[in-house]
Amino acid sequence: MDKRLIYLDNNATTKVDEKVVEAMLPYFSQEYANPGGMYDFAGRVGAKIKEAREAVKEFMGANNQKEIYFTGSGSEGANTAIRGFLNATPGKKHIITTKVEHPCVLNTYKDLEKSGHKVTYLGVDADGNINLRELETSVKPETALVSIMAANNETGIIFPYEKIAETVKQINPETKVFVDAVQAAGKIKMDFKNTKVDFAAISGHKFHAPKGIGALYVKGGTLFSPIITGGHQERGKRAGTENTASIIAMGKAAELAIDGLKEELTRVKKLRDKLEQNILKNVFNARLNSSTGNRVPNTTNIGFEYIEGELILLYLNELGICASSGSACTSGSLDPSHVLRAMGVPFTALHGSIRLSLSRYTTEEEIEYTCKVFPEITDKINKLSPFQKELAELKSIKEHHT
Amino acid sequence: MWEYSDKVTDLYKNPKNAGMIEDADAVGEAGSLTCGDMLKLYLKVDENGIIQDAKFQTFGCGSAVASSSILTEMIIGMHIDEARKITNKEIVEELGGLPPEKMHCSVMGHEALESAIANYYGETCISEKKEKVICQCFNVTEKVIKEQIKTNNLKTVEEVTEYTKAGGGCGHCKSAIEAILKEMKREQPTLTKTQQIIKVNKVIEKYISPELRQDSGDIELVDVDGNKIYIKFSGKCSACEKSQLTRNYVEKILKTHISEDIEVILV
């Protein structure tokens, strides 16, 4: 039987666009030259990489191609920016970041703390926003780096990184700003040349390019040391033969993403809102884990009180719906989401929080089906819960209000 | 994606005995909402102490629901004192295994059962409040950790986390768990002399004697003194010129099965 597949986990990864696959295919068995070669066969590949760099430059809003470095992943981009910059400026040891960063950033700082760096972790409010005043008072003369994500992977909440960069530079012009833009790429417009941001990392597979390719924006003139040393690739800042097919693929994906931004902000957002509103209306123990305000258009994070997230995911999976939870069990760690905890999501909903993330491939019909089955699934799981009294109370409150 | 056994998958999809018993003779509880999983177990017990019915309500992941479900199936029809002997290991076996990270679900089943039986006998449940809590994140007590180390022969902090969740949150208590492991390892060899002799004899009977008998010889345990084990060869072995080699063999086997620091002395 052909099982239905409704993919609502696009913040984890996305489908590679068929046009992207088409663009990259020749670079495996036909145009397979090492772009460093001194012959036309290599030159052709080199020219395509240049085109791809141009597309990513446009996509990230860089000044010129020299500001774009290809990397192997978002994590590598983040590590290159953070470690590469700190290695190049060994004097200053203070870093400021937030408690809700992606693990690839947070764990890098945890690691750096071991080698004598001091890290300030800024908290967030219930809507997931940091306190700008707290940031201002945290920036010190010895602050080397301020690191903030453009959009949160679990909640979709957008951080005012442009404003944050301005503020930081006013207090300490020497302090550099790194933006983890992985979850913003393809969802909201990036224009780094018109900001004070020094570094920004993106990852191809979040915007319909393949996995294993990313890019790092480095504002012209910013010093950093390579973390992968070797050959002269990427102007000596990232050794290793270019992943030509994937670079070309990401270039194509970037082009398509620029064109797709409008659709994200209209059709995808409409579908997301429909899904969210339906669930909040029809599932009495559902609560939104962020304000509806400033979010990327494809993401929602909903907490289900008194039931557990993994079971919801397993039941969704039975119907072919792919979603994810920031909760304990799925990620292999036992701790509930550090993001939701930092936001103060009540413990009744902390273990039952689900992230649904859409893409331009999501259809109206898929959302309608998901809306239809969600209350059925939660009803089934509610019945298993030992918190019947609490659930009954929630239900009567909800009914009273509608 | 977890690699759940077919049994686990089947049970979280279609759990058996879910719900509550209004007039239950015993109710047991384990876990909590903050910990991320909780199980409430209801028992109906007849005048002969036989569990007539069991139902559960579980807040938790797929394997927590499956563990609860299989537990009710296991105990229905059992005498309550028999049920008391069920370990989390048996729950895991009935489920056809659990991923290591999910072992704590079976432990929760076992704890809820213990709590229900204590409730049945009107025992003041040796509640966790009186116990020393090691893991604050998941409220895991020293008693639970020690029990699991013993039952499942756990050796590392990671294993303790997989079985009890302790240490899986902030990780602050990892050093405390390490200390418990060390302490229990030290406690282990404090067997009485009789226990030591029985233990050594068992290994001799099982692994060494059969080999020696094949060559018409045998071995006799004379004494045990700390890590020194005194033995005597009999039959052909006693006159064998290679008896030193045989001694080496005996020492190797005893080292493997009992302890690395054993010294075998031929008398």
When pLDDT is cut at 50, 70 and 90, the band that residue B96 belongs to is very high
The length of chain B is 267
Give me the pLDDT at residue A311, please: 94
Report strand pairing: A286-288 vs B26-32: unpaired
Q: What interface predicted TM-score (ipTM) does this complex get?
A: 0.88
Distance in angstroms (rounded) separating the CA atoms of residues B190 and A401: 66
Give the mean pLDDT of A48-75: 98
When pLDDT is cut at 50, 70 and 90, the band that residue B150 belongs to is confident
Query: Looking at A23-37, A58-72, A168-182, B215-229, which range is the least confident one?
Result: B215-229
What are the two backbone dihedrals, phi and then psi, of residue A309, each rounded to the nearest 5 degrees? -65, -40
What are the two backbone dihedrals, phi and then psi, of residue B4, each rounded to the nearest 5 degrees? -85, 145
Which of the following is catalytic: A104, A322, A329, A371? A329
In tens, the pLDDT along A125-154 reads: 999 899 999 999 999 999 999 999 999 999
Q: What is the CATH T-level fold of the domain A6-12+261-401, as seen in this structure?
A: Aspartate Aminotransferase, domain 1 (3.90.1150)
Give me the pLDDT at residue B46, please: 95
In tens, the pLDDT along A146-175 reads: 999 999 999 999 999 999 999 999 999 999
Whether B126 has a pLDDT exceeding 60, the answer reads no
Check if A336 contacts B (Cβ < 8 Å).
yes
Give the mean pLDDT of B95-118: 92
List the domain boundaries for chain B.
1-125, 127-188, 193-266
Give me the pLDDT at residue A326, please: 61
B74 or B140, which is more confident: B74
Could you tell me if B61 and B109 are in contact, meaning their C-beta atoms sit under 8 angstroms apart? no
B129 or A393, which is more confident: A393
Q: Where are the beta strands (DSSP E) in A60-129?
A: 68-71, 94-98, 118-122
Give me the pLDDT at residue B124, please: 63
Nearest by Cα to A183 from A208, A150, A213, A211: A150
Whether A88 has a pLDDT exceeding 70, the answer reads yes
Alpha carbon A279 to its chain's center = 24
Nearest-Cα residue of chain A relative to residue B165: A334
The per-residue DSSP string of A264-331 comes to IIIIIHHHHHHHHHHHHHH-TTEEESS-SSSB-TTEEEEEETTS-HHHHHHHHHHTTEE-B-SSHHHH
Give me the pLDDT at residue B54, please: 97
Strand partners, B218: B234
Residue A286 Cα distances to A398, B13, B60, angstroms: 10, 22, 17
In tens, the pLDDT along A231-273 reads: 999 999 999 999 999 999 999 999 999 999 998 889 999 999 9
Across the interface, which of A332, A348, A384 has its CB nearest the CB of B18? A384
Instruction: List the CATH code of the domain at B1-125.
Output: 3.90.1010.10
Give me the pLDDT at residue B189, please: 55
In tens, the pLDDT along A280-307 reads: 999 999 999 987 789 999 999 999 999 9
Query: Looking at A275-279, A359-363, A374-378, B165-169, which range is the least confident one?
Result: B165-169
In tens, the pLDDT along B167-210 reads: 887 777 888 898 888 888 877 656 677 878 888 888 888 888 88
Nearest by Cα to A332 from B12, B176, B161: B161
Distance in angstroms (rounded) separating the CA atoms of residues B239 and B234: 8
Check if A314 contacts B (Cβ < 8 Å).
yes
Instruction: Check residue A154 and report its DSSP letter.
Output: T
Give me the pLDDT at residue A328, please: 47
Distance in angstroms (rounded) separating the CA atoms of residues A124 and A400: 32
B-chain residues within 8 Å CB-CB of A327?
36
CATH (one of 1.10.730.10, 3.20.20.70, 2.60.40.3880, 1.10.10.1100) for B127-188: 1.10.10.1100
Could you tell me if A80 and A105 are in contact, meaning their C-beta atoms sit under 8 angstroms apart? no
Nearest by Cα to A230 from A218, A242, A239, A217: A239
Give me the pLDDT at residue B238, please: 75
Active site residue A371: no
Nearest by Cα to A102 from A356, A353, A344, A342: A342
List the domain boundaries for chain A.
6-12+261-401, 18-257
Give me the pLDDT at residue B190, please: 60
Query: Looking at A4-18, A102-116, A330-344, B193-207, which range is the least confident one?
Result: A330-344
Distance in angstroms (rounded) separating the CA atoms of residues A195 and B23: 67
Which residue, among A304, A306, A334, would best test binding to B if mutated, counting the most B CBs under 10 Å from its CB? A334
Give the mean pLDDT of B69-96: 94
Q: What is the pTM of this model?
A: 0.81
Q: Tell me the CATH architecture of domain B193-266.
A: 2-Layer Sandwich (3.30)
Give me the pLDDT at residue B130, please: 60
The size of the A-B interface in CB pairs under 8 A is 72
Distance from CA of B34 to the nearest CA of A (A): 6
Check if A318 contacts B (Cβ < 8 Å).
yes
Nearest-Cα residue of chain B relative to residue A382: B59
What are the two backbone dihedrals, phi and then psi, of residue B241, each rounded to the nearest 5 degrees? -75, -15
Give me the pLDDT at residue B125, please: 54
CATH (one of 3.30.70.100, 2.40.30.170, 3.40.640.10, 3.40.50.10860) for A18-257: 3.40.640.10
Give me the pLDDT at residue A264, please: 86
Instruction: Check residue B175 and report its DSSP letter.
Output: H
Residue B224 Cα distances to A336, B233, B247, angstroms: 52, 16, 15
Give the mean pLDDT of B100-109: 89
Distance from CA of B149 to the nearest CA of A (A): 19
Query: Chain-wide mean pLDDT for chain A?
Result: 94
